[in-house]
Amino acid sequence: MFNALVLNQQDKQTIATVQQIDETQLPEGDVLINVDYSSLNYKDGLAITGKGKIIRNFPMVPGIDLAGTVISSQDSQYKAGDNVVLTGWGVGENHWGGMAERARLKADWLVPLPIGLNSKQAMMVGTAGLTSMLCVQALLDAGLTPDSGEILVTGASGGVGSVAVSLLATLGFKVAAVTGRIEQNGPLLEALGASRIIERSEFEEPARPLEKQLWAGAIDTVGSKVLAKVLAQMDYNGAVAACGLAGGFDLPTTVMPFILRNVRLQGIDSVMCPTEKRISAWQKLVELLPNSFFEQACTEITLDDAVKYAEDITNGQVTGRVVIKL
């Protein structure tokens, strides 16, 4: 028997409780894992609170990320004692996830724990960090360099945003970080490498089709009218990596930034990202993230704290990463 956060639905309300469950209750998979750490992402928050239609089948153990040690494996890719990481693949949504002391998963969903990281550090990076690295890589693939100009990061105090600020700063880019809580988050974002902090309200007014050119590139975690505003302010030949929809999945914009300023909008998905691309991104994260990143922007909680923090993260009251020690 082991502890797990289990979601059930009652009268169309999601009920989250820490329960003791048996290994035989775990879903099918090739690899049985002893989970060291999971993490709490915005999507996890939506699932646990029931504020988003993330979970379709109950009961469900949430947790889209986990890091731990292989107990047993029926697949030759892994053996007992191997340290592994899981992000994405629908785990924590339609397959029991990381918020349990054990998990049974498909071998193809796993990657080896990157050399240079421990399980806690891997979860401080997690889906948020992997997504951030994919966003940064998209900007680099678009030909942007530090000489191109300033890079904007929206939702900068969140998991994806905070890692993106750190990665871009390490690469030598000048970073403008957008947040709704400057007094609370400004010092942290500056410590991560942001050169200036911008109030979120500046991006919440409806955008004109084209506005003053301000940004060589941008990483947007918000979507909707914030992304529309960002697109209207891009430099000629600018590139935007869009990876989030916390502000909504609509996009009230026009084609003008794309056809008059040659702006590129690149969507970023980390859920179904191919294994080879994942491993490459993890290696780059190990190379680029400074030690100072792991000394900041993280809150460690227990499984019993997860419900409270899920509420907080969906209300925009959490800065940086939240990891769950199993």
Does residue 12 register a pLDDT over 80?
yes
Average pLDDT over residues 174-184: 92
Angle between helices 275-288 and 159-170 (to 10 degrees): 60
Average pLDDT over residues 91-106: 97
Handedness of CA 225, 144, 289, 109 (dihedral sign): positive
Buried b (16+ CB within 10 A) or exposed e, 235-274: beebbbbbbbbbbeeeeebeeebeeebebbbbebebeebe
Question: Of the given ranges (48-52, 63-67, 103-107, 132-136), which has the lowest mean pLDDT?
Answer: 48-52
Average pLDDT over residues 296-316: 90
Average pLDDT over residues 219-232: 97
pLDDT, tens digit, 9 for 90 and up, residues 267-279: 999 999 999 999 9
DSSP code of residue 11: T
Average pLDDT over residues 235-239: 98
Q: What tokens were used for 44?
A: 């996890």
pLDDT, tens digit, 9 for 90 and up, residues 27-55: 999 999 999 999 998 889 999 999 988 89
d(CA 317, CA 319): 7
Does residue 189 register a pLDDT over 70?
yes
Does residue 107 register a pLDDT over 70?
yes
Model pTM? Answer: 0.89
Does residue 290 register a pLDDT over 90?
no
- Give the pLDDT score at 185: 85
Give the bridge partners for 323, in sequence order.
Answer: 39, 300
- Give the pLDDT score at 297: 61
- Give the pLDDT score at 265: 98
Average pLDDT, the chain: 94
% of residues, the chain, pLDDT over 70: 99
Residues 136/40, Cβ–Cβ less than 8 Å: no
Of residues 125 and 296, more confidently modeled: 125
Average pLDDT over residues 223-233: 97
Does residue 287 register a pLDDT over 80?
yes
- Give the pLDDT score at 102: 98
Average pLDDT over residues 109-137: 95
- Give the pLDDT score at 246: 83
